C-alpha cells in the first residue's frame, strides 16, 4: 500500500515509524513531515491545511490510504473531500469531528446522553458571560468553543481572570472565530487520563491508557501546552474505570452521534479527569493524541496498518490488539518560551547517540534539515520515548537519552512520570 500521512509533529513521525514496519506498507509519504520522517519516508511540501492540494497529490500518486494526524484538517472536512474524490482516508468526517471542534456541540451531546462531565454553561454573548461571572464560585474553567491549538482553555482562579479571558476570547477575538462562543465549566479536581479508541459507528477497540503532562513547567506549573510528555500505561487507570468509560461514556456518545445520523470512523480519544466520583469527560478528541501516540505506539505489538483499515471498513471485531507489557515514557524537548514566543534555527546535536540506546525512539516534531544539519523549527522539537520493565525504568532510560541531546535554549520537564507507581 502507498500511504500518505498528513501532519508534521511527533505524532505523525510515530505513526509513520509504526506504519513503516508493516509488510503491506510499500511507500510512505508525509505532508509536510519533518527532518525525522525525511529519514525513512518521502516528505512532500504540502501544508496539512491545504486540503485540495493534498487530495490532488493523493490522486496523482495513487495513494491507497491517507492518515490524518492533526485536528484542523479533520474539522475542515478533509475526509469528506477525500471520500468525494474516491480516496481512502483514516479519520472522521467534518460532522463527526465536531466532537472535538466544538466544545458546545460536545457538551450538548454529553448532556443529552447523560455522559458524566463538568457542569457548564454556554455563552454567545459576552455581557451575559460577564454577568454570570459575578455569581460564580471560583476557580472555573473558560473554554473557547472552537479549536485553538490547545491554548483555548483558561483556568480562572478569580473573577478578574475570568473577566479578562471572556473579554479576550469574545470581544478581542484572540482565538478568531473559535472564541466567539465559550463554555464556562466547573473546575474538576483529580488526575487526568487519555484513552484512545479505534471507532467505526457503534463498534470500537480501546487502546492502552496513557497520561499526558499538559503544563509547561515541572510540578504542573506554567501555562497549558499541547503536551510536554506522556507515559503509558496510566497509573490511575483500572478495569472498573475502563468499564465505566465504555458503558457511561463511549457507548452513549456513539449512540448519540448515530441518533443524529453521524457515524464516527477513526480515532476517538476522550480526555478524562478521574475524580473521587468517577471519570468525567474534559473533552473529546477526534484524532491520535500528541504526545500520547509517541508513548503508545512503541508499546503496540500488532501491525497498525490492518487496524486502521479495519476501522475504515468496519470489521474491527475480527482483530485483537497485542501490547508490549513494558511501560513507555515520553519526554518532549521544546524551544524555551513555548507555548509562547520562541526562537528557531538552533542546531541539534546528539540525536544519533540518543537513538543508539536500547529501547529508545527519538521522534521529531519541529525539526528541519538545513545544509546537512538538523535545526529546530517549532515549539515542540522532539519527543524521546523509552520502554522499560517498569515506569521508573522507562523514565530513567528516557532521561538518559534526553541527556545526549543538545540545542540552545532547550526546555523539558524533569518530572515526566515522576512518582507514578508501577
Ligand atoms: P481540554 O482542551 O478541554 O481538554 O482542556 C485542556 C486541559 O485543561 C485539560 O487537559 C485539563 O488539564 C484542563 N481542564 C479542562 N477542563 C477542566 C476542568 N473542568 N477542570 C479542571 N481542569 C480542566
Ligand atoms: N495531548 C493532548 C492532545 O493531543 O490533545
Q: Which ligand is nearest to the CA of 383?
A: 2
Residue 354 Cβ inside 6 Å of ligand 1? The answer reads no
Residue 38 CA to residue 40 CA, distance in Å, equals 6
Q: Could you identify the atom of ligand 1 that is nearest to the CA of residue 215?
A: 12
- Mean pLDDT, rounded, of the chain: 96
What does the pLDDT average to over 277-287? Answer: 97
Instruction: Name the architecture of domain 327-411.
Output: Alpha-Beta Complex (3.90)
CATH code matching the domain that covers 2-94, chosen among 1.10.760.10, 3.40.50.20, 1.10.3720.10, 3.40.50.300: 3.40.50.20
Q: What are residue 135's phi and psi, to 5 degrees?
A: -110, 25
Cα–ligand 2 centroid distance for 112 (angstroms)? 25
In this predicted structure, the answer to whether residue 422 has a pLDDT above a threshold of 70 is no
Domain boundaries, the chain: 2-94, 119-186, 191-318, 327-411
pLDDT tens by residue, 29-61 = 999 999 999 999 999 999 999 999 999 999 999
pLDDT tens by residue, 236-276 = 999 999 999 999 999 999 999 999 999 999 999 999 999 99
Residue 267 CA to residue 226 CA, distance in Å, equals 18
What does the pLDDT average to over 3-23? Answer: 98
Q: Which three cell numbers stand for residue 244?
A: 465505566
Identify the band that residue 206 occupies on the pLDDT scale cut at 50, 70 and 90: very high
Q: Could you identify the atom of ligand 1 that is nearest to the CA of residue 150?
A: 2
Model pTM score: 0.97
Protein residue with least CA distance to atom 4, ligand 2: 289
- For residue 376, the cross-strand partners are 367
pLDDT tens by residue, 61-112 = 999 999 999 999 999 999 999 999 999 999 999 999 999 999 999 999 999 9
Cα–ligand 2 centroid distance for 226 (angstroms)? 6
pLDDT of residue 126: 96
**What is the CB neighbour count within 10 angstroms for residue 353?**
13
pLDDT of residue 421: 63
Q: What percent of the chain has pLDDT over 90?
A: 96
In this predicted structure, the answer to whether residue 395 has a pLDDT above a threshold of 60 is yes
CATH code matching the domain that covers 119-186, chosen among 3.40.50.2020, 1.10.10.10, 3.90.1660.10, 3.30.1490.20: 3.30.1490.20
Residue 71 Cβ inside 6 Å of ligand 2? The answer reads no
Instruction: Name the architecture of domain 191-318.
Output: 2-Layer Sandwich (3.30)
Cα–ligand 1 centroid distance for 68 (angstroms)? 24
Residue 359 Cβ inside 6 Å of ligand 2? The answer reads no
Q: What is the DSSP letter of 1?
A: -
How is 143-161 classified by DSSP, letter by letter? EESS--TT--EEEESSHHH
pLDDT of residue 149: 78
Identify the band that residue 420 occupies on the pLDDT scale cut at 50, 70 and 90: confident
Per-residue CA distances from 267 to 77, 131, 147, 201, 351 (Å): 15, 38, 17, 11, 31
pLDDT of residue 234: 97
Taking the C-alpha atoms of 123, 124, 128 and 132 in order, what is their torsion angle to the nearest 10 degrees? 20
Q: Could you identify the atom of ligand 2 that is nearest to the CA of residue 227?
A: 1
Amino acid at each position: 500500500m502507498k500511504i500518505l500521512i498528513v501532519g508534521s509533529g511527533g505524532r505523525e513521525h510515530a505513526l509513520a515509524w509504526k506504519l513503516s514496519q508493516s509488510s503491506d506498507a510499500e511507500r510512505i509519504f508525509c505532508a509536510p513531515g519533518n527532518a525525522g520522517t525525511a529519514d525513512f519516508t518521502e516528505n512532500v511540501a504540502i501544508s496539512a491545511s491545504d486540503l485540495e492540494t493534498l487530495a490532488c497529490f493523493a490522486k496523482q500518486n495513487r495513494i491507497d490510504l491517507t492518515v490524518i494526524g492533526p485536528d484542523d484538517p479533520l474539522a475542515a472536512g478533509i475526509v469528506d473531500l477525500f471520500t468525494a474524490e474516491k480516496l481512502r482516508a483514516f479519520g472522521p468526517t467534518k460532522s463527526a469531528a465536531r466532537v472535538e471542534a466544538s466544545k458546545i456541540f460536545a457538551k450538548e451531546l454529553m448532556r443529552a446522553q447523560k455522559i458524566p462531565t463538568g457542569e457548564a454553561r454556554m455563552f454567545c454573548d459576552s455581557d451575559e458571560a460577564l454577568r454570570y461571572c459575578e455569581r460564580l464560585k471560583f476557580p472555573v474553567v473558560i473554554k473557547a468553543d472552537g479549536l485553538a491549538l490547545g491554548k483555548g482553555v483558561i483556568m480562572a482562579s478569580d473573577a478578574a481572570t475570568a473577566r479578562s479571558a471572556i473579554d479576550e476570547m469574545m470581544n478581542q477575538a484572540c482565538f478568531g472565530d473559535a472564541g466567539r462562543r465559550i463554555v464556562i465549566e466547573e473546575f474538576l479536581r483529580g488526575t487526568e487520563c487519555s484513552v484512545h479508541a479505534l471507532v467505526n459507528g457503534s463498534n470500537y477497540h480501546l487502546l492502552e491508557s496513557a497520561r499526558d503532562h499538559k503544563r509547561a513547567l515541572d510540578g504542573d506549573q506554567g501555562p497549558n501546552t499541547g503536551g510536554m510528555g506522556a507515559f503509558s500505561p496510566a497509573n490511575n487507570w483500572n478495569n472498573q474505570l475502563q468499564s465505566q468509560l465504555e458503558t457511561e461514556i463511549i457507548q452513549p456518545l456513539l449512540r448519540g452521534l448515530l441518533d443524529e445520523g453521524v457515524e464516527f470512523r477513526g480515532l476517538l480519544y476522550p480526555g478524562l479527569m478521574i475524580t473521587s466520583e468517577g471519570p468525567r469527560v474534559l473533552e473529546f478528541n477526534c484524532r491520535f493524541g500528541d504526545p500520547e501516540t509517541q508513548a503508545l505506539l512503541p508499546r503496540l505489538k500488532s501491525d497498525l496498518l490492518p487496524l486502521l483499515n479495519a476501522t475504515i471498513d468496519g470489521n474491527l471485531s475480527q482483530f485483537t490488539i497485542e501490547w508490549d507489557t513494558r511501560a513507555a515514557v515520553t519526554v518532549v524537548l521544546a524551544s524555551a518560551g513555548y507555548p509562547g514566543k520562541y526562537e528557531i534555527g538552533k542546531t541539534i546535536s546528539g540525536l544519533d547517540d540518543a537513538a543508539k540506546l536500547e529501547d529508545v525512539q527519538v521522534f521529531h516534531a519541529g525539526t528541519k534539515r538545513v545544509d546537512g544539519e538538523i535545526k529546530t523549527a517549532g515549539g515542540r522539537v522532539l519527543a524521546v520515548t523509552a520502554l522499560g520493565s517498569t515506569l521508573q525504568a522507562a523514565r530513567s532510560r528516557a532521561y538518559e537519552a534526553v541527556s545526549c541531546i543538545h540545542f540552545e535554549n532547550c526546555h523539558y520537564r524533569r518530572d515526566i512520570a515522576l512518582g507514578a507507581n508501577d
